[in-house]
């Protein structure tokens, strides 16, 4: 053996094992579809369609675009797994690692076929089939489309320039209603991730027969939205734009606005930084691990738009799925300051809108939900039958059945568990009325209103009763607003 040269041997991974492992990158359906839409945008596509068939035994999903398409050599390169993320990319290219098309697709199905046609009109085809690789035990890609592939391409109307990506053997998506539901639900997330492209008319996106409309996570058109303005930070010659926005209090939102602001996951899960990379939203609500900050109810209105250019992926630790990142250390301090300010302003909105009534002279009129009574020298707790909501329900046709339910709740109250919790956490175990979350109270109120009489006169009487009842007495202004907005329209 030559001096200075260590002994070595070739140790290639087993193709059938590695490709199965590549399916576990953590994609869900929306992020997988978003990765493919990224490719369509990079190919200058204006129209992207997601078509599918959910028939048992014949299920498939197809993503069709009208981009510039790929030649044989370009498709050959695109279907190769991985490339050097340090290589310079073309402007507008949302990819980085050369894995997205393959790992995103195979995370949902066992067969990935790409058909592409460039301006020359020649059809190029490639298929990665996990079962074929397992049989052959080699990285063998199929280079000719089978009859089923061509039938699907014809069914989705793929006749001109562009690309169609077809998933078959959809083991992770299922078939039938399961597949239809998952595909339909992913549209909401895509409307958020690509909302800038959609709003600017740079992209038309549809799922099935439904066009996807952009979702504005900042409610900028609402008069109560606080736009704190744009601040530009500099990192290695790149401009990083930061724009904190504070949403209106939930009580000031219509149902449609609340749904738009909540997005998938709800408002609490969607607070924090909204990170854009080349106009594409890659992180839809996260505090990015900065300053020990975490999601909380009072800070849910804080949203901070953060725009980074595609060329800084490695410095920002953008992952393969383009769904998480970490800011460079040199920018952390300023981002923490901006985040803390936004969180404080969100808390202030709740403090102002949800402040409890302070008129001590009327506290005696408050109707509590629970009452303490003493029987045979023992303290017991029962539900107050004079509480307006309880009294109204007991007066109804099902009053006797409800009385039985109330007694069941009272007799099964877990007193020992409550006592143990208070003993083990003496500070946390003693709830303070002043810390009641206004939005939770309002959510309870909205649910109760759906079952109350629709007669305006009765509802007016009820509104006055609720203002004096726990827990609604702590937010009288908000209670009246909700009842008024929920009142039935006169016919």
User: Does 124 score more than 90 pLDDT?
Assistant: yes
Among 149-153, 302-306, 409-413, the range scoring the smallest mean pLDDT is 409-413
Among 230-239, 384-393, 402-411, 465-474, the range scoring the smallest mean pLDDT is 465-474
Among 29-43, 121-135, 375-389, the range scoring the smallest mean pLDDT is 375-389
pLDDT reported for residue 406? 78
Please calculate the CA angle 238-273-335 and round it to the nearest 5 degrees. Answer: 55
The pTM of the whole model exceeds 0.75: no
Beta bridge partners of 240: 233
- Across 19-23, 206-210, 238-242, 417-421, the highest mean pLDDT is recorded for 206-210
Q: In the sheet where 47-53 sits, what is the strand order? A: 123-129, 111-117, 162-168, 60-65, 47-53, 204-207, 210-211
pLDDT reported for residue 409? 82
* Dist. CA 194–CA 258, nearest whole Å: 19
Among 17-21, 83-87, 350-354, the range scoring the smallest mean pLDDT is 83-87
How confident is residue 380, by pLDDT bands cut at 50, 70 and 90? confident
Structural contact between residues 385 and 402, judged by C-beta atoms closer than 8 angstroms: no
pLDDT reported for residue 92? 46
44 or 309, which is more confident: 44
pLDDT reported for residue 194? 97
Q: What is the mean pLDDT of residues 31-49?
A: 95
pLDDT reported for residue 299? 94
Among 10-24, 279-293, 390-404, the range scoring the smallest mean pLDDT is 390-404
pLDDT reported for residue 313? 66
Q: What is the pLDDT of residues 474-488, one digit of tens each?
A: 666 666 666 666 555
| Per-residue tokens: 145 | 């489309």
Q: What is the pLDDT of residues 395-447, one digit of tens each?
A: 776 777 777 787 778 778 787 777 766 666 554 444 444 445 566 666 676 66
pLDDT reported for residue 433? 43
How confident is residue 62, by pLDDT bands cut at 50, 70 and 90? very high
User: Does 131 score more than 60 pLDDT?
Assistant: yes
pLDDT reported for residue 434? 44
State the chain's mean pLDDT as an integer: 81
Q: What is the pLDDT of residues 323-342, one digit of tens each?
A: 567 888 889 999 999 999 99
11 or 161, which is more confident: 161
End-to-end Cα spacing for the chain: 96
- Across 155-169, 285-299, 364-378, the highest mean pLDDT is recorded for 155-169
* Dist. CA 384–CA 68, nearest whole Å: 70
User: Does 312 score more than 90 pLDDT?
Assistant: no
pLDDT reported for residue 454? 65
User: Does 76 score more than 90 pLDDT?
Assistant: yes
pLDDT reported for residue 425? 58
The string of DSSP letters for 166-235 reads EEES-TTT-SHHHHHHHHHHHHHHHHHHTHHHHHTTS-EEEETTEEPPP--TT-TTSTT-EE---EEEEE
Q: What is the mean pLDDT of residues 198-202?
A: 95
Give Cβ neighbours of residue 116 (< 8 Å, ≥ 6 apart).
Answer: 69, 70, 71, 74, 75, 123, 124, 125, 162, 163, 164
User: Does 359 score more than 50 pLDDT?
Assistant: no
Domains of the chain (ranges plus CATH)? 15-211 (3.30.565.10), 226-353 (3.30.230), 360-486 (no CATH)
* Dist. CA 383–CA 397, nearest whole Å: 19
For the chain, percent of residues with pLDDT exceeding 90: 45
For the chain, percent of residues with pLDDT exceeding 70: 74
pLDDT reported for residue 426? 53
How confident is residue 394, by pLDDT bands cut at 50, 70 and 90? confident
pLDDT reported for residue 157? 94
C-alpha closest to that of 18 among 103, 101, 88, 87? 103
Q: Burial letters for 187-225: b for 16+ Cβ neighbours within 10 Å, e otherwise?
A: bbbbbbbbbbbbeeeebebebeeeebebbbbbbeebeeb
How confident is residue 143, by pLDDT bands cut at 50, 70 and 90? very high
Q: What is the mean pLDDT of residues 211-229?
A: 92
pLDDT reported for residue 412? 80
């Amino acid at each position: 053996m030559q001096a200075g040269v260590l002994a070595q041997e070739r140790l290639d991974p087993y193709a059938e094992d590695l490709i199965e492992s590549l399916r576990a990158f953590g994609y869900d359906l929306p992020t997988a579809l978003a990765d493919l839409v990224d490719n369509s945008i990079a190919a200058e596509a204006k129209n992207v369609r997601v078509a599918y068939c959910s028939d048992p035994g014949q299920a498939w999903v197809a993503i069709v675009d009208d981009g510039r398409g790929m030649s044989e050599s370009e498709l050959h390169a695109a279907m190769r797994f991985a490339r050097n993320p340090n290589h310079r990319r073309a402007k507008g290219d949302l990819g980085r690692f050369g894995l997205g098309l393959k790992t995103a697709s195979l995370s949902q199905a066992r067969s990935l076929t790409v058909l592409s046609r460039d301006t020359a009109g020649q059809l190029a085809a490639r298929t990665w089939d996990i079962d074929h690789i397992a049989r052959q035990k080699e990285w063998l890609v199929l280079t000719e489309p089978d009859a089923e592939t061509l039938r699907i391409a014809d069914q989705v109307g793929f006749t001109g320039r562009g690309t169609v990506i077809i998933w078959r053997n959809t083991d992770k998506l299922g078939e039938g209603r399961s597949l239809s539901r998952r595909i339909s639900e992913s549209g909401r997330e895509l409307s958020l991730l690509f909302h800038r492209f959609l709003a600017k008319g740079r992209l038309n996106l549809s799922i099935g027969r439904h066009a996807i409309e952009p979702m504005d996570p900042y409610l900028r058109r609402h008069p109560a939205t606080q736009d704190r303005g744009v601040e530009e930070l500099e990192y290695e010659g790149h401009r990083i734009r930061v724009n904190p926005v504070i949403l209106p209090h939930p009580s000031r939102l219509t149902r449609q606005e609340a749904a738009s602001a909540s997005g998938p996951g709800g408002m609490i899960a969607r607070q924090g930084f909204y990170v854009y990379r080349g106009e594409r939203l890659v992180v839809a609500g996260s505090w990015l691990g900065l300053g020990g900050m975490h999601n909380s109810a009072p800070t849910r209105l804080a949203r901070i738009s953060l725009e980074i250019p595609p060329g800084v992926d490695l410095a920002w630790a953008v992952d393969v799925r383009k769904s998480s990142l970490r800011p460079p250390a040199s920018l952390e301090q300023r981002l923490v300051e901006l985040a803390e300010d936004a969180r404080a302003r969100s808390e202030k909105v709740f403090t102002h809108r949800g402040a409890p009534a302070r008129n001590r002279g009327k506290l005696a009129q408050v109707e509590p939900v629970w009452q303490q009574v003493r029987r045979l020298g023992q303290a017991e707790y029962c539900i107050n039958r004079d509480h307006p909501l309880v009294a109204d329900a007991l007066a109804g046709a099902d009053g006797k059945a409800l009385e039985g339910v109330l007694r069941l709740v009272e007799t099964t109250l877990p007193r020992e568990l409550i006592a143990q919790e208070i003993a083990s956490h003496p500070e946390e175990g003693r709830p303070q009325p002043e810390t009641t979350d206004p939005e939770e109270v309002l959510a309870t109120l909205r649910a109760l209103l759906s079952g109350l009489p629709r007669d305006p006169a009765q509802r007016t009487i009820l509104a006055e009763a609720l203002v004096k009842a726990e827990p609604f007495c702590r937010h009288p202004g908000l209670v009246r607003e909700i009842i008024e907005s929920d009142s039935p329209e006169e016919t």
